[in-house]
Structure 1
Amino acid sequence: MYTIILVKLAIGFIGLWIITFVIGRKEIGQITPFDFFTSILISEIVGNTLYDKNVTYAHLIYALALWALFAYLIEFLTVRFVKIKRLTEGRTVLLVERGEINQQLMRSCKLDFNQLMTMLREKDIFNLVEVNYLLYETNGTISVIKKPEFDQVRVKDLNLRAEPSSLSIPVIEKGVIQTEALRGKYVPEEKIRKLAREQGFQDMTRIAYAEYNEDKDELTIIDK
């Protein structure tokens, strides 16, 4: 019995991992109503088969494969057809326009002012007066455009020279060199070792974490 549970759990784990990549990373970063329904159903498929002796490994694999195919088909259709996308994901709602709150739309979204203010505070906005436009996104978050008088001053507004932002790439973690920690960006191992040696690190295992800045061609190192 314990072996059967172990095998089914392993199949379920691998199956869920594959499904996540088949239907896209959006499942993790952006939960829509359809995504929520999918996650519940998949957990039911795996959970209900673990202790059922009448459900074989083949049944479990078949159920996961069938649902993965169905979910992928829905994702494909939502990309191709706008109406289906609206049906499965809903539409972004304009709750505040030019500083005016649409309370009717708030009620239809099942939102009250306490919930709205909580989401605003998470964006460092503590007063509704500051809001010019507010969009209630399909994943349950909000996007806000402040009124001009409350907006932050940008560098170009002050006619100051701004240095472009640069990307730092993790290249060493717990003493292990990672030449491609970011997919699509390769940093040669010899370059990593050379920059580390320049800072007095002959032994890479002494490094807890290191980031490589391509623009400055330098390594930022955190010692163990």
Structure 2
Amino acid sequence: MFIMIFLKLAIGFLGLWVITFVIGKKEIGQITPLDFFTAILLSEIVGNTIYDDNVTYLHLIYALFLWMLFSYSIEKLSNHFIQFRRLTEGRAVLLVDKGEINQKLLQACKLDFNQLIVMLREKEIFDFSEVAYVLYETNGKISVIKKPEYEYVRIKDLGLQVKQESPSIPVIEKGQILLDTIRGIKMNEVHIRSMAKEQGFTEIKEIAYAEYNQEENKLVIIKKR
């Protein structure tokens, strides 16, 4: 009995992990209604089979595989067919147009004025007169365009020249070299060791953490204590 529960829990954990990577990772704020439904159903599939003696771990594997196949197929169809994506994810709704609230669409989205004002405050907008357009996105958040006179001044508006920054890349952690911490960026171990040596670190084990700064072509190093 206990061995079977352990096997089911282990399979459920690994299965959900695999499904997450197969169908894609999203932040909580990006979850669509389909993703929410998927999460609930997966929890039911795993939860209801753990303590049911009539359901073996093979049944659990089969159920997880089928749901992964369904979810993967829906994701692929959504990516290839716009109409199908609209069906599964919905469409953005224009709640405010040129400063005027569309009350019919607001009600259709099951929102009221107070909820809209709260979401605007979360965008650091405390005066509705500043708003020109509001889009209610499929993930339940809003995107806002302010009226021109209330927009922040941008650097290009001032005619200033700026240099585009690029992300720093973690390359060393706890004395170990990391070559592919960011998917799509591959680091060279020889180059990492060379830069560390130039900064006085002959042994990588002496470094607790290091990031590679692409603009300056050097490491930002935190030494072990």
Which sits farther off after the overlay, 138-147 or 38-47?
A: 138-147
Q: Which residue of 2 aligns with 1:222?
A: 222
Aligned position for 1:55: 55
C-alpha separation in 2, matches of 1:77 and 1:93: 23
Seen in structure 2, the aligned counterparts of structure 1 residues 27 and 48 have a Cα distance that, compared at 3 Å, is farther
Q: Is this contact kept in 2: 1:27–1:35, CA < 8 A?
A: no
Structure 1 unaligned regions, length at least 5: none
Identity of aligned residues (%): 64
Q: Following the alignment from structure 1 to structure 2, what is the Cα–Cα distance between the partners of residues 27 and 123?
A: 19
Return the alpha-carbon distance in structure 1 between the equivalents of residues 151 and 128 of structure 2: 13
| Structure 2 residue identity aligned to 1:173 | E
The 5-angstrom pairing of residues 154-165 of structure 1 reads 154-165=154-165
Quote the residue 2:76 is aligned against.
Answer: 76
| Structure 2: unaligned runs, 5 residues or longer | none
SS in 1 for 2:132: strand
Alignment of 1:88-167 (within 5 A): 88-167=88-167
C-alpha separation in 1, matches of 2:19 and 2:38 = 10
SS in 2 for 1:95: strand
**After alignment, is 85-94 or 54-63 more displaced?**
85-94
Q: Residue 199 of structure 1 aligns to which amino acid in structure 2? A: Q
Question: Aligned partners of 2:189 and 2:28: how far apart in 1?
Answer: 31
Kept in 1: contact 2:165–2:215 (CA 8 A): no
The two structures, once aligned, show a CA RMSD in angstroms of 1.8
In 2: Cα distance, 1:29 partner to 1:178 partner: 30
Is the partner of 1:17 in helix, strand or coil? helix
Distance 1:73 1:8 in 2: 25
Which residue pairs with 1:21 in the alignment? 21
Cα separation, 2, equivalents of 1:194 and 1:113 = 60
Instruction: Report the equivalent of 1:210.
Output: 210
Conservation of the 8 A alpha-carbon contact between 1:20 and 1:27: no
TM-score of the two chains, using structure 1 as the length reference: 0.91
TM-score by length of 2: 0.91
Which whole-Å CA distance do the structure 2 matches of 1:223 and 1:128 have between them?
A: 50
